[in-house]
């Protein structure tokens, strides 16, 4: 079977992501921004697929595109769009903006020119069939499972956030 991970698909997905990302910040209507963000996230799932990580791609679609963005839209719909349309979209902090852009651009150029020496060549690549098992191994396996603790800590953080939201939203529980 011929590999699907051709440069054409990479550039297509990357271009979709960049255009989507630009639309997210330039659209005045928050719902349009959210839809552009969904496009970006879906294209990102495609990039994960190209890296032979189908499990991560599937989780990306379920969690971000299917779950979190629905809640985003849910909240945005309760906002008065008419008023947000009139608000100023960008602030005028040119100095900080230029500094941040230069730093990020410098980083990109460094990675692009010296990428080969910065990152280990090849690295660990899993065949497509074993991606799910590999993720599970990194989390749960007795010998290779080193990410169990960070994973649990992250979920605890989310739990704290949920409890905080409930406490703030409900005066009487």
Binding region for another protein (CB under 8 A) = 1-2, 29, 31-32, 35, 38, 54-55, 57-59, 61-62, 65-67, 69-71, 73-74, 77, 128-129, 131-133
Q: Kindly tell me which of 85 and 98 has the beta carbon lying closer to another protein.
A: 85
Task: Please state the closest distance from residue 52 (CB atom) to another protein, in A.
Answer: 10
Q: Which is nearer to another protein, 70 or 161 (CB)?
A: 70
Q: How far is the CB of 3 from another protein (least distance, A)?
A: 10
Structure tokens at 111: 């990675």
CB 69 within 8 A of CB 38: yes
Residue among 17 and 65 whose Cβ is closer to another protein = 65
Is residue 76 within 8 Å of 34, Cβ to Cβ? Answer: yes
Shortest spacing between CB 73 and another protein, in angstroms: 5
Q: Minimum distance from CB of 154 to another protein (Å)?
A: 18
Return the DSSP state at 128. G
Report CA torsion sign: 89, 90, 92, 93: positive
Specify the residue, 93 or 130, whose C-beta has the smaller distance to another protein: 130
**Residues 34 and 65: beta-carbon distance below 8 Å:** no
CA–CA distance, 139 with 151 (Å, rounded to integer) = 8
């Amino acid at each position: 079977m011929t590999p699907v991970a051709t440069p054409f698909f990479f550039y297509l997905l990357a271009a979709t992501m960049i255009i989507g990302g630009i639309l997210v910040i330039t659209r005045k209507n928050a719902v349009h921004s959210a839809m552009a963000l969904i496009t970006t996230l879906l294209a990102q799932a495609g990039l994960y697929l190209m890296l032979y990580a189908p499990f991560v791609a599937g989780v990306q679609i379920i969690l971000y595109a299917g779950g979190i963005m629905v809640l985003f839209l849910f909240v945005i719909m309760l906002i008065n769009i008419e008023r947000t349309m009139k608000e100023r979209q960008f602030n005028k902090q040119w100095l900080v903006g230029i500094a941040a852009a230069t730093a990020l651009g410098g980083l990109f150029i460094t990675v692009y020119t010296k990428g080969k020496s910065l990152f280990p060549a090849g690295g660990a690549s899993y065949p497509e069939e074993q991606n799910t098992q590999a993720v599970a191994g990194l989390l749960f396996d007795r010998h290779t499972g080193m990410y169990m603790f960070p994973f649990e800590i992250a979920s605890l953080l989310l739990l704290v956030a949920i409890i905080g939201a409930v406490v703030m939203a409900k005066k009487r529980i």
